[in-house]
Amino acid sequence: MKPAVILAKYLGLLLMVSLLVNVGCATPSKQTPVPVGQHCNIVWDKTNDPKVTLYQVTVTDESKQGKKTVRYIPANNTKLSCKDAGADHEGTWDVTVQSCYDKSMCGPSTEVIRIHITAK
């Protein structure tokens, strides 16, 4: 079983978002990024708030001076490949997810999860 990251924090009105990378369970650590393969996925729990229309997924490339890539995902989807999110090469990445009513109004982001994409 490969390691995974589970992250939970309330967003808006008791909305819990979980961020999972690959399969399995692990405790998140800000000091040590979780190693994942190049075909990893970012998965989170669907909100119960019917007003949420989008999720904002942000990945930050630590090897390129914090270059951020932001993707807006329709609320009926709760999975995005790391590559489609912008984490498209080996290295260390920070990942957050936010629930949004529209592109200009989003809740607070989840805690930052650090992943390290490896060739294996």
Q: Residue 1: inside a domain, yes or no?
A: no
DSSP states of 38-63? TT-EEE-PPPS-TT--EEEEEEEEGG
CATH number, domain containing residue 33: 2.60.40.10
Asked, for residue 3, whether it belongs to a domain, the answer is: no
The three-class DSSP label of residue 71 is strand
Q: How many domains does the structure of the chain reveal?
A: 1
User: In this predicted structure, what is the pLDDT of residue 64?
Assistant: 84
Query: Could you tell me which residue, 3 or 118, shows the higher pLDDT?
Result: 118
Res. 106: pLDDT tops 80: yes
Residue 2's pLDDT band (boundaries 50, 70, 90)?
Answer: very low
> pLDDT tens-digit profile of 39-71?
899 999 998 999 999 999 999 998 888 899 999
Domain assignment present for 85: yes
**Predicted pLDDT of residue 32:** 80
| C-beta of residue 119 within 8 angstroms of C-beta of residue 32 | no
Q: Which domain holds residue 56?
A: 8-117
Let me know if residue 113 belongs to a domain. Answer: yes
Higher local confidence (pLDDT), 63 or 10: 63
d(CA 51, CA 114): 29
* Domain-embedded: residue 40: yes
